[in-house]
């Protein structure tokens, strides 16, 4: 087998192995805005919520991809932001390490809260 092709297949095997387990990601940016700044109103389940204040986490995955997670600024215990605070004892900051899992059905990394 071609040496270059072998390298490509080897790298692919590493990525597949990595995606079969939970991994650690790093928050590389936290943006502040309205929910519709991060998610188009047409994609929101309730378009009336588009004007709510929100933050967006940008997380770098182990395979150098970036995951975005929008969180409404809410103090409700079931909100993503409060789940984050409950799990980590603080609000999200750049440099925080968080747990990720790879969803085979969608092909995307997901943040575990």
pTM confidence score? 0.76
DSSP H or E segment with residue 26: strand 23-34
Cα–Cα nearest to 19, from 64, 59, 58: 64
**Residue ranges per domain, the chain?**
22-111
DSSP H or E segment with residue 67: strand 66-72
Tens of pLDDT, residues 3-17:
888 888 888 787 777
Tens of pLDDT, residues 45-94:
888 888 889 999 999 988 788 989 999 998 899 999 999 999 999 999 99
Tens of pLDDT, residues 14-47:
777 766 677 889 999 999 999 999 999 888 888 8
Helix (H, G, I), strand (E, B) or coil at 80: helix
Compute the distance between CA of residue 113 and CA of residue 106 in angstroms, rounded to an integer: 18
Compute the distance between CA of residue 55 and CA of residue 18 in angstroms, rounded to an integer: 28
């Amino acid at each position: 087998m071609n040496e270059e092709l072998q390298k490509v297949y080897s790298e692919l095997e590493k990525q597949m192995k990595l995606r079969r387990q939970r991994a650690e990601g790093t928050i590389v940016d936290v943006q502040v805005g309205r929910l519709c700044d991060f998610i188009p109103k047409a994609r929101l389940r309730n378009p009336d919520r588009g004007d709510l204040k929100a933050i967006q986490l940008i997380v770098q995955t182990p395979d150098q991809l970036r995951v975005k997670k929008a969180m409404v600024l809410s103090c409700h215990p079931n909100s993503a932001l409060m789940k984050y605070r409950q799990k980590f004892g603080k609000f999200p900051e750049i440099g925080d390490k968080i747990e990720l899992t790879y969803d085979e059905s969608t092909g995307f990394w997901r943040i575990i809260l």
